[in-house]
Amino acid sequence: QVRLVESGGGSVQSGGSLRLSCVGSGFNPRTYCMGWFRQAPGKEREGVAVIDNFADTSYSDSVKGRFTISQDNTKRTLYLQMDSVKPEDTAKYYCAAEKCEYFSAGDYSLAPKFAYRGQGTQVTVSA
């Protein structure tokens, strides 16, 4: 059974940094692609970043250059380093996983549609 547990959310001022973590279990990290998506109140889910099993990454234009997705397969942990955050980054962030054979490489927008997701962690950025 696939399980994803996020942590690291919180409140931060504009321009600050946060690092989100997601610990996975119940699947082989070498055959799954991972991603982050977010959802702000009253808005649709938005893909943020994805990383495939070759460690190739893809980002939404809204976070490119500010956020970095990475993973440590030995620890079964996915990370999202968030730098230079803005108030518009305020949302609940979810970790997601999908078998890479079902994933179109490089398409971060698919992250909200991945088969598995965690419970989410709230990020609030104040001006």
Burial 22-31 (b: 16+ CB within 10 A, else e): bebeebebee
pLDDT digits (tens, 9 = 90+) for 15-45: 999 999 999 999 988 899 999 999 999 999 9
Q: Where are the beta strands (DSSP E) in 1-127?
A: 3-7, 10-13, 18-25, 32-39, 46-51, 57-59, 67-72, 77-82, 91-99, 116-117, 121-126
Residue 46 confidence class, pLDDT cut points 50, 70, 90: very high
Q: According to the model, what pLDDT value does residue 1 have?
A: 93
Region 64-70 average pLDDT = 97
pLDDT at 53 over 90: no
Q: According to the model, what pLDDT value does residue 73 have?
A: 78
Alpha-carbon torsion (45, 94, 127, 82), positive or negative: negative
Residue 75 confidence class, pLDDT cut points 50, 70, 90: confident
Cβ-proximal residues to 2 (8 Å cutoff; 6+ apart), any chain: 24, 25, 26, 27, 97, 115, 116
What residues pair up with 36 in beta bridges, in sequence order?
49, 95
pLDDT at 105 over 80: no
Q: According to the model, what pLDDT value does residue 30 have?
A: 85
| 53 close to 92: Cβ distance less than 8 angstroms | no
Q: According to the model, what pLDDT value does residue 40 have?
A: 96
Cβ-proximal residues to 7 (8 Å cutoff; 6+ apart), any chain: 20, 21, 22, 23, 121
